[in-house]
Amino acid sequence: MYPEDLRRGALLMIASGLLFSTMGALVKYLSAELPNEMVVFFRSVMGLLALLPWVLHRGLGQLKTKRLRGHLGRGLAGVSAMYCYFYAIAHLPLAEAVLLNYSTPLFIPFIAALWLGEQVSPRLWVAIGTGFVGIVLILKPGLGLFTPVSLIGLASGLFAALAMVSIRRLSNTEPTLRIVFYFSLVCTAVSAVPLAWRWQTPDPGLWILLLGMGALASLAQLLLTRAYAHAPAAQVGPFTYSTVVFAAGIGWIFWSEIPDLLSFGGTALVCLAGIMTIRFAGQRLLSEAKLAK
């Protein structure tokens, strides 16, 4: 692996982080105009539409599976994470919502240990403990500033971790295309149900933003995947936390969001812990993260 490959991978990852944070900003803006259920649906359906050319090119035979229950469980965990994440974005500072969602690597070792019986190394426990100290600083339960919406933001990271561990189980027999397709299909189908009572016809300008949100998410996912192709996951993965930095900048510019000292310290600890977890967990963790976005 040449240094140039790592630089290219890092740049692609940072570009992906910028697009993901911009998508988050669009979600925050749209959530002030439309119900959360609609925003989740349009994000899901755009992801499904972006996959269709790939599916048609590879052939519908690639979608045959004997593990529909596993795909359904992974999809339900993923769409639950999306609902929680988008709700948190609408009601919390953008960087804080993004950071709580990016707590996912801290939950994965717990879930994998309980569900799959995997061992957790001592240094990984140190990283996890550091991360949860940071989360406590962000939630600030002892200062009377704790709000239920913060727990919803944290739940987005937990549900995303469940989705990633589900990918670990599915990947024994299921290829990437099949996993991603059924995830998008389940998310679209589930998020379409509440539209029966929550539909609100968007203004013409909002249609453009809804389409832009989906396009940014798809492009960010593409750049993320390309970044992992250029450099080892343990080296390039920590750059995913550039999303938090960009989100903080966007929140400050457009919504005058400035974190207090406890939130800033907690953010630093969670980012550090996430980077440590990625470095210690290695390729497998980041491979699953690519499929869970």
Query: What domain range is 170 assigned to?
Result: 3-292
What's the rounded Cα separation, in Å, for the pair 70 and 82? 18
pLDDT value at residue 110 = 77
Q: Confidence band (pLDDT; 50, 70, 90) for 39? A: very high
**For 241-254, how does the pLDDT look when each residue is reduced to its tens digit (9 = 90+)?**
888 889 989 999 99
CA dihedral 91, 92, 94, 98 (to 10 degrees): -110
Give the HSE-up count for residue 59: Cα atoms under 13 Å, Cβ half-sphere.
3
pLDDT value at residue 211 = 87
**For 203-222, how does the pLDDT look when each residue is reduced to its tens digit (9 = 90+)?**
988 999 998 898 888 788 77
Total domain count for the chain? 1
Do residues 82 and 196 lie in contact, with contact meaning Cβ atoms separated by under 8 Å?
Answer: no
The three-class DSSP label of residue 62 is: helix
pLDDT value at residue 220 = 83
pLDDT value at residue 82 = 95
To 5 degrees, how large is the angle CA 40–CA 43–CA 49? 135
φ/ψ (deg, to 5) at 144: 75, 10
pLDDT at 234 over 80: no
How high is the mean pLDDT of the chain? 82
Q: Confidence band (pLDDT; 50, 70, 90) for 2? A: very low
pLDDT value at residue 88 = 95
Higher pLDDT, 145 or 135: 135
Give the CA distances from residue 63 to residues 49, 68, 191, 232, in Å, rounded to whole numbers and listed in that order: 15, 11, 21, 29
Higher pLDDT, 12 or 143: 12
Mean pLDDT within 95-101: 89
Task: Give the residue from 36, 27, 7 showing the smallest Cα distance to 217.
Answer: 27
pTM of the model: 0.85
Q: Confidence band (pLDDT; 50, 70, 90) for 231? A: low
